[in-house]
Chains A and B, each alone.
Chain A
């Protein structure tokens, strides 16, 4: 125990000095478990997040939009993979993590349980949801766990185009026909509040925050990140001549913050616990892809085994002579 306390002290000193923790370093079991939880949730969110936008790849209105959207959704698969890959450095198996997701034991971001109804949703997701993700991920690029930080740096670089892609769609709609403007306003109305919930529960109800901040896994609180997002996004909405669905929204001269009305946290917890509009559909789609892929994964492994055996055969033949 004395030894453990000493290790813990050295660990905290390294964190305080801004050092990165690498996979083989000693770390408190709880640090490891918190990272696995956070990183795998993050990975699951990327993978489930492919579905709502993926719906629109086959319906994108022109070739440029189609290719951009496909490349974006593909990036999400890539980012999920980077994150699973980083999580695996903590000694867990990707297939176990995926199993946890498919069997409903793992969480993922609330936002992907809402439906994409119109093309404007694709624009607003890129703008709001990726915008919110970038705020969060920019912080995580400085996280104390080396593989997580490296994955986030890579992801941040690649995601630079996602938000612009979304905003460009919205600008085009805002400058378009009255129908297109209505479509855009409707999407903003539906996505605004769920996007704000993405940052997680308020600080006084966030049980993990203090520990994660002490270990520099996170560097800012949920409310700080949320406020930053609101401050940069409100002017962007207004610039398009659109409105925000919050009668209490006001600018506070003193702090320079845009202040919002109350967030419906009951909705957040309902969605997180599996009862959002699309939770069942999303998991069903993931499960279907996984099950339909089972024979493929078995086939490549069978093939690899056969090849290995064949490569070994000539040697055996020689030794028999």
Chain B
């Protein structure tokens, strides 16, 4: 199935889904890019910029495809720079401020583990353009996973301070992991159409992989978290997203219609 043969009835759900994927990549890429020039040492500064560039590349591809599926002539830039917070579909996890290096690494690890499994599954999507993007993005996300996994071991099993910071980050971030695996009508429609994968299977694989690494890193997952954050996929976000967009969209908003 491609753009031409796509069933009209499925377009709205697919558009919505591509926004979720694209916005995750865009907002995470933006947060990672904030590290540029401020990394813990030069080599890692360069590494973080590479991660950011990968994510922004995925965002561009996914949002371009979203615009094509929507069929109203919106480009990736229109979608990135001219929507307000309530129209964004990213999970709340990626919009949280970058925090310290431990926070960035834990988020990166939790997200990359998820993204690797997701893109791996999406390679089998019957919607060919999405399968194509997934195959390309998967290669890069595998490196993100290798990078963040090595770091999480170092930080978790490094010094007392690094352990404390990393454990704190994990405690803070854990409640944002549930949202990555939420299933709603949109997703169900796409899963039935073999466009999106079954999230239940994905979740158990994710959980097993995360637990193994966390154990190696001497970190523990909060038991019975009282609340799992939700809402991002419906446009309900934390306060942080508004500030992020104010900064990111400043030029497009201040000079409507100008070319850059």
Give complex CA distance A160, B233 in Å: 42
Q: Is A70's CB under 8 angstroms from B53's CB?
A: yes
Fill in one digit per residue for B87-130: 1 if any A CB lies within 8 Å of its CB, else 0.
Answer: 00000000000001100000000000000000000000000000
**A-B pairs with CB below 8 Å: how many?**
138
Query: 8 Å CB contacts to B: which residues of A261-299?
Result: 285, 288-289, 292-299
> B1-9, B152-160, B201-209: which lies at the A interface?
B152-160
Give complex CA distance A172, B259 in Å: 7
Give complex CA distance A204, B138 in Å: 59
Q: Is B251's CB under 8 angstroms from A119's CB?
A: yes
Complex interface: chain B residues within 8 A of A81 (CB): 42-43, 46
7 contacts between A and B (CB under 8 A): A58-B30, A58-B248, A62-B77, A62-B81, A70-B49, A119-B260, A303-B154
Complex interface: chain B residues within 8 A of A54 (CB): 36-37
Complex interface: chain A residues within 8 A of B81 (CB): 61-62
Q: Is A289's CB under 8 angstroms from B38's CB?
A: yes
Give complex CA distance A93, B101 in Å: 25
- Asked if A154 is at the interface of the complex by the 8 Å CB criterion, the answer is no
- Asked if B252 is at the interface of the complex by the 8 Å CB criterion, the answer is yes
Complex interface: chain B residues within 8 A of A155 (CB): none
> B54-62, B177-185, B191-199: which lies at the A interface?
B54-62
Complex interface: chain B residues within 8 A of A65 (CB): 260
Q: Is B161's CB under 8 angstroms from A50's CB?
A: no
Interface hub of A179, A292, A295, A297 (most chain B Cβ within 10 A): A295
Fill in one digit per residue for A285-321: 1 if any B CB lies within 8 Å of its CB, else 0.
Answer: 1001100111111111111001000000000000000
Q: Is B251's CB under 8 angstroms from A80's CB?
A: no
> A9-17, A71-79, A145-153, A240-248: which lies at the B interface?
A71-79
- Asked if B73 is at the interface of the complex by the 8 Å CB criterion, the answer is no
Closest A residue to B257 by CB, please name it: A177
B167 CB to closest chain A CB (Å) equals 13
Complex interface: chain B residues within 8 A of A59 (CB): 247-248, 250-251
- Asked if A57 is at the interface of the complex by the 8 Å CB criterion, the answer is yes
Q: Is A66's CB under 8 angstroms from B33's CB?
A: yes
Q: A58-B30, A297-B41, A302-B158 given as contacts; is B56 within 8 A of A77 (CB)?
A: no
Complex interface: chain A residues within 8 A of B158 (CB): 298-303
- Main secondary structure, interface of A, reads helix
A interface residues (Cβ-Cβ under 8 A, vs B):
47, 50-51, 54, 57-67, 70-71, 73-74, 77-78, 80-81, 84, 119, 169, 172, 175-177, 179-180, 285, 288-289, 292-303, 306
Q: A78-B46, A292-B100 given as contacts; is B161 within 8 A of A299 (CB)?
A: yes
Complex interface: chain B residues within 8 A of A299 (CB): 154-155, 158-159, 161-162
Q: Which of B36, B41, B60 contacts A74 (CB 8 A)?
A: B36
Complex interface: chain B residues within 8 A of A70 (CB): 33, 36, 49, 52-53, 56
> When A and B form their complex, which 10 residue pairs have the shortest distance between CB atoms, in order from nearest?
A293-B40, A299-B158, A299-B162, A61-B260, A74-B49, A296-B40, A54-B37, A61-B251, A50-B37, A303-B154
Q: Which of B42, B46, B80, B247 contacts A84 (CB 8 A)?
A: B42
- Asked if B213 is at the interface of the complex by the 8 Å CB criterion, the answer is no
Q: Is B260's CB under 8 angstroms from A296's CB?
A: no
Q: A63-B60, A67-B53, A67-B57 given as contacts; is B255 within 8 A of A285 (CB)?
A: no
Complex interface: chain B residues within 8 A of A179 (CB): 255, 258
Q: Is B40's CB under 8 angstroms from A292's CB?
A: yes
Query: 8 Å CB contacts to A: which residues of B17-51?
Result: 30, 33-34, 36-46, 49-50
Give complex CA distance A173, B117 in Å: 43
Q: A47-B42, A54-B36, A180-B255 given as contacts; is B260 within 8 A of A74 (CB)?
A: no
Complex interface: chain A residues within 8 A of B250 (CB): 59
- Asked if B147 is at the interface of the complex by the 8 Å CB criterion, the answer is no
Give complex CA distance A230, B5 in Å: 57
- Asked if B76 is at the interface of the complex by the 8 Å CB criterion, the answer is yes
Closest B residue to A288 by CB, please name it: B38
Closest A residue to B77 by CB, please name it: A62
- Asked if B142 is at the interface of the complex by the 8 Å CB criterion, the answer is no
Complex interface: chain A residues within 8 A of B60 (CB): 63, 67
Interface hub of A294, A298, A300 (most chain B Cβ within 10 A): A300
Complex interface: chain A residues within 8 A of B258 (CB): 176-177, 179-180
Q: Is A295's CB under 8 angstroms from B165's CB?
A: yes
Give complex CA distance A243, B155 in Å: 54
Interface hub of B36, B46, B161 (most chain A Cβ within 10 A): B36
Q: A58-B34, A293-B101 given as contacts; is B40 within 8 A of A63 (CB)?
A: no
Q: Is B154's CB under 8 angstroms from A172's CB?
A: no
Closest B residue to A74 by CB, please name it: B49
Interface hub of B81, B157, B158 (most chain A Cβ within 10 A): B158
Interface hub of B44, B157, B247, B259 (most chain A Cβ within 10 A): B259
